[in-house]
Chain A
């Protein structure tokens, strides 16, 4: 059998997986099938500890994969560095938000991983919440004890928090995302302004956009040959069922994506406090923010596109005794990421002194990437332009 179409509605045949899955349990069933049919040695999934915490687990046990079905919106962890660290030599399968997939592709460009060994099941992504802000949000806006929240769900522009009351009774409360975000809560800044919503750079792109209301199915776009082959195999070996997606669903999905991209673009504009500053005010802003850096190195350790180890230039050339207005570490990290930053916000999430790194990295890299006509993390055949010999834009000028 050869897949006839690019777009499907698919679901897990196993009712338990289908129930536990975020939508149709397709992602989990496909990972299980890939494991059982020897396409991969291990799967990398998130084990839920609470709504605020998920830990990445690398496992060859299908039962563990099944246990990890479902979406965790309060877990903004990017999986790229885990793949590099623990699974670079293995054949693995994993769910990837657009920023996971883009990070992995950038690492592959830098020869840290081999894409042939990685099966990326992309997840559409409306965004994640920072766990600490989410706890605050639960207390302040939902009037809940943050620890009583057992589940969360995002649908129809609302964030639902389901808490367990004394006596085991469940209570559901919701608020509009827009309203929360106007007040500075809701999704992380990086996610609010993220414009890559459907991970077509992965092998499959899965989500609920385009699924008819009330149906427990996952919308699947086949994005690569490998993705198609593993999908097909999962059907043939009885793990998943699928039907071609109706034209209406495909249209609806496209429309929602465009709407989300528009919203992201407007957030990006609204949140950029630097754009209205003069040149010298801009300089003061950067110096003022970056002078707080304590050089803990966390932003470098989590960055999905940085492939340097401990003997990197930004660390080597930094001297704590220097009295520069901005440290070499910060200057070099910003400079080296101008062509490759994917604006995932991991750096800001971990910064102990709350430097607005997403905004800073974005300000520098976005203008460079526009100038280069280059979007990182999309295409393995495109080298990072900083390492190129020829001017990338000279072709465009002529």
Chain B
């Protein structure tokens, strides 16, 4: 991967947010005028239960430096118990990513409510910092200039 001199490398972070909580949380961060690093790309889904592990895996294969799985706090899911399933699947993803030889920091699970804009901004900052330390994902395949 080629970076022009002097320019700091910016990670690409993919976040899946559920419509009712974490997406609204991201929105709140904006409304509250909080600084959110521009490293994040958000994909809105109706519920974290809709995040098929295949989406996360494809995100990594596409070259995301980290993937964040987010949703409503346990007990608050708008579709009864779907985020319990998210939690279950995440456990599989964690083992998979670790075994594959990617750093565990490339995968995150966070519960964020609609009013937790600060938490959302904080999370993006934290992930960006961590990823800057470990560098680009070895799965990243960019065209060489």
Contacts and interface: CB of A to CB of B under 8 A. Distances in A.
A323 B141 contact: yes
Interface string A205-230: 00000000000000000000000000
B46 interface: no
Interface size class of A (residues with CB under 8 A): 35 or more
A326 B61 contact: yes
A389 B54 contact: no
Given A368-B95, A389-B81, A389-B88, A313 B103 contact: no
A325 B102 CA distance: 13
Interface in A316-346: 317, 322-326, 328, 331-332, 334-335, 338-339
B99 A363 contact: yes
B101 A280 contact: yes
A6 interface: no
A339 B93 CA distance: 12
Contacts of A326: 61
Nearest to A391: B88
Contacts of B81: 389
Interface string A187-198: 000000000000
A283 B60 CA distance: 13
Contact of B57 (A281, A332, A338, A371): A332
Given A325-B61, A325-B141, A331-B61, A364 B89 contact: no
Contacts of B88: 385-386, 388-392
A285 B101 CA distance: 9
B31 interface: no
Interface residues of B, number: 26
B87 interface: yes
A128 B141 CA distance: 42
Interface of A is mostly: helix
Contact of A324 (B61, B95, B100): B61
A334 B139 CA distance: 17
A338 B139 contact: no
Interface string B105-118: 00000000000000
A364 B99 contact: yes
B96 interface: yes
B102 A331 contact: no
Contacts of A393: 91
Given A335-B57, A386-B89, A389-B84, A324 B139 contact: yes
A326 B141 CA distance: 12
A339 B92 contact: yes
A354 to B, nearest CB: 21
B95 A367 contact: yes
Nearest to B53: A335
Contacts of A331: 57, 61
Nearest to A372: B91
6 contacts: A283-B138, A317-B58, A335-B57, A367-B95, A386-B88, A389-B81
Given A313-B52, A323-B141, 10 more contacts: A283-B101, A284-B101, A286-B101, A317-B54, A325-B61, A325-B139, A334-B96, A335-B57, A364-B95, A371-B91
